[in-house]
Structure 1
Amino acid sequence: MSLEATRSILTDLIAFPTVSADSNLTLIDYAAERLSHSGARVFLMKDATGLKANLFASIGPDCDGGIVLSGHTDVVPADESEWQSDPFSAREADGLIYGRGACDMKGFIAAALAMAPDYASLNLKRPIHFAFTYDEEVGCLGGQQLVSELARRGIKPSVAIIGEPTDMRIIEGHKGCYEYTTEFIGLEGHASNPDLGVNAIEYAVRYIGRLLEIGGELRQSTPSSPFTPPWTTIQTGRIEGGKARNVIAGHCAVEWEMRPVRGADVDYVKRRIATYCEEVLLPAMRAVSPSACIHTHVVGEIDGLEPVTDNEARAIVSALTGATTADVVSFGTEAGLFQKLGISTVVCGPGSIDQAHKPDEFISCTQLKACLDMLSGLKQRLTT
């Protein structure tokens, strides 16, 4: 399939404003139609709202051992005032294609869709699968549903290539990403007598302070790792609570995350912060209001991608791209979900992560061509 066709598909994909807060169904329907037209077996799985869906499609024999090409369809928001052009209308200049999601990660999806007719024209001995998910940017929600459904249906690919923007470098490892919202329910009252209320914001601040202390402990105790930074990190991204300056805040919510380099750190953080709540914060809150409480909601707990010695996916992509080394990164992907399912997995895709989530996001046609070359090289692997 030509680069021109890929650029045309990418233009179509960018025009679908699939911000995580909104539906991705128009893009999914578009992809399903293209894949079905190529003879793929397609099934969709919707979320609880019915407004978002994953797509999984297969070309070739209905057997184990296939190769998955996977990408997420959602994008982060775009403030049009910060862009040189409409973020949801592709603009090409000097060999670069601009638009929200151009590199993260509709460029890879466009290349995969462009290759589908080529795969379908072959006498495949090994199936090729397409996995397009929703809500990766807000907790890999679609990816979690997808791998559960694959396990339920007994679909057992052996290799997965996650096409996140890596400049076509092979990524064999990354940290996990564990995301939470912790709610504090206190007791409202008049600010003139704060001792008669339970200020949820103040307890949330103490909670955040303890998270920072635990993060410092991990920084000192984590053994050397190949990641940057090499330790498990904890970060608070958002805090919201209160009604007015003169009202004791009865509610506050803290959104936070940790990115562990090892599984033991996850248990350590959970244990330490739970102990602090049970032994320090809650007794003080309930001394004033017995109904005061702290609830932590899991947004997503996504395992990292663990580097392994025997990695079929790495060997295949290395042979196709000519890369002789594999790297690790600190940003998260859905790769760990596939690896946990027993699938040999790497991350490799067109474009640079440096452009992701920024105004005037772009991908170069050179990177798209390199991706097409890799995906075209898969044809031999699928027919022998």
Structure 2
Amino acid sequence: MSASRDLLATLVAFDTTSRESNLQLIEFVRDYLAGFDVPCQLVYNQERSKANLFATIGPADRPGIVLSGHTDVVPVDGQPWTVAPFQLTELGGKLYGRGTADMKGYIACVLALVPSLVQASLRLPVHIALSYDEEVGCLGVRSLLKALEQRPVKHMLCIIGEPTELKPVLGHKGKLAMRCDIHGHACHSAYAPLGVNAIEYAAELVSELGRIGQRLKAPELHDVRFDPPFSTVQTGVIGGGKALNIVPADCRFDFEVRALPSHDPRRVAQELQAYAEQQLLPRMRAVSEHSEIRFSELSAYPGLATDARSEAAELIAAFSGSRDFGTVAFGTEGGLFDAAGIPTVVCGPGSMEQGHKPDEFVSLEQLHGCDAMLQRMLLAIGN
């Protein structure tokens, strides 16, 4: 337990907010593993300012278990913290600091297990996978998964250690984030009919998104394992216009789709684009032929829907001590691992109720529980 706590203190001290580099943390983990003669592979981004890490302990010629976590955290800007966010603080059985729950607590427990893994005679390998830029669209792990595709041996299970209070999670929704740019025609507001008001056309598109969202609530589209039990659509950012007496030529808004694993979120974008092309652009171009509506993808990741009867589900049930399988509303890198052919579950210490908030914490009880879960895994795969 003290090893996990001490390692968590070290990890929290690295400011790995997504806009910053994660290399100091990655280099710490690399050197830590090297101290146990565990080699690792680093997969850098194009600028070599960030890196993923992959390490293997045990026999590499057979399928094994991947313990995966992301190293980046969300910003603390503007949040009313009462403790130093990048310094571990223990109060009342809770460990405070940015990333303690999401998800450096899990990474600390994984690293604390390394000495035992190295000393054990493992029947199956254990792999450690750390990624960057999960919080901004699950970006970094994609290059790691591409590198893993070149390896001849596939993995039997990936445990994503996002905070689930150590409850085994087999499913989450996918996400598509989109941007819509509307270009109309500016003129003096006294002659508004001679212009193409980009804000007003944006409003029509946002309203259509609302109608699409209402259709997704139809009972026949529900999956009761999720909360809410349907795919959702929402507009989160909008901006446009220069002055009240100028018909605005430009407007931009961003929207997202949180889709059930059975629903392709791109269908929403395609439906909205069809509405724009068939209903709005003809009216806009009747006034100005240069009018445009452009859509661009900001980020996307797939949902996760691991079969409760699968080997992956049986394994996490044995390790966690629970068959009370659930789902979560937030997304993870799990869908990408699953799409790469690696059966995936989500199970880690802490709660997302504390994630992304000021005074984020993980309890000592949860950290101890994660240590125990990983020890059960070790007992199951050792000779």
Which residue number corresponds to residue 281 of structure 1?
280
Structure 1 residue runs of 4 or more that deviate by more than 6 Å after TM superposition: none
Which residue number corresponds to residue 371 of structure 1?
370
Distance 2:140 2:332 in 1: 12
Quote the RMSD (CA, aligned, Å).
2.0
- 1:135-184 superposed Cα distances (whole Å, 9 cap, x missing partner): 11121111223222211344521110000000000111111112222222
Against the structure 1 CA distance between its residues 186 and 121, is the aligned structure 2 distance closer, same or farther, given a 3 Å change threshold? farther
Alpha carbons 2:79, 2:357 under 8 Å: kept: no
Distance 2:220 2:27 in 1: 45
Alpha carbons 2:306, 2:345 under 8 Å: kept: no
What is the identity percentage for the equivalent residue pairs of Structure 1 and Structure 2? 43
Distance 2:22 2:244 in 1: 40
Distance 1:222 1:51 in 2: 47
What is the DSSP-based 3-state SS (H/G/I as helix, E as strand, rest coil) of the residue aligned with 1:82? coil
Distance 2:90 2:370 in 1: 18
Which residue number corresponds to residue 147 of structure 2?
149
Alpha carbons 1:159, 1:344 under 8 Å: kept: yes
Which residue number corresponds to residue 250 of structure 1?
249
Distance 2:152 2:184 in 1: 47
Aligned pair partner of 1:32 in 13, 30, 33: 30
Distance 1:63 1:296 in 2: 45
The residue type paired with residue 249 of structure 1 is P
1:356, distance to aligned residue in structure 2 (A): 0.8
Against the structure 1 CA distance between its residues 77 and 155, is the aligned structure 2 distance closer, same or farther, given a 3 Å change threshold? farther
Distance 2:44 2:171 in 1: 29
Which residue number corresponds to residue 185 of structure 2?
187
Matches within 5 A, 1:321-336: 321-336=320-335
Against the structure 1 CA distance between its residues 196 and 350, is the aligned structure 2 distance closer, same or farther, given a 3 Å change threshold? same
1:371, distance to aligned residue in structure 2 (A): 0.4
1:81, distance to aligned residue in structure 2 (A): 5.2
Alpha carbons 2:261, 2:305 under 8 Å: kept: no
Alpha carbons 2:93, 2:363 under 8 Å: kept: yes
Distance 1:154 1:222 in 2: 42
1:264, distance to aligned residue in structure 2 (A): 4.1
Alpha carbons 1:128, 1:382 under 8 Å: kept: no
Distance 1:213 1:206 in 2: 11
The residue type paired with residue 121 of structure 1 is Q
Alpha carbons 1:80, 1:86 under 8 Å: kept: no
1:234, distance to aligned residue in structure 2 (A): 0.6
Question: Any stretches of 5+ residues in structure 2 without a counterpart?
Answer: none
Against the structure 1 CA distance between its residues 206 and 5, is the aligned structure 2 distance closer, same or farther, given a 3 Å change threshold? same
Q: Is it true that 1:118 corresponds to 2:116 in the alignment?
A: yes
Matches within 5 A, 1:1-384: 3-79=1-77, 82-154=80-152, 156-220=154-218, 222-225=220-223, 226-266=225-265, 268-384=267-383
What is the DSSP-based 3-state SS (H/G/I as helix, E as strand, rest coil) of the residue aligned with 1:287? helix
What is the DSSP-based 3-state SS (H/G/I as helix, E as strand, rest coil) of the residue aligned with 1:152? coil
What is the DSSP-based 3-state SS (H/G/I as helix, E as strand, rest coil) of the residue aligned with 2:265? helix
Alpha carbons 1:39, 1:59 under 8 Å: kept: no
Against the structure 1 CA distance between its residues 349 and 309, is the aligned structure 2 distance closer, same or farther, given a 3 Å change threshold? closer
TM-score under structure 2 length normalisation: 0.93
Range 239-248 or range 110-119, more displaced: 239-248
Distance 1:155 1:288 in 2: 60
The residue type paired with residue 228 of structure 2 is P
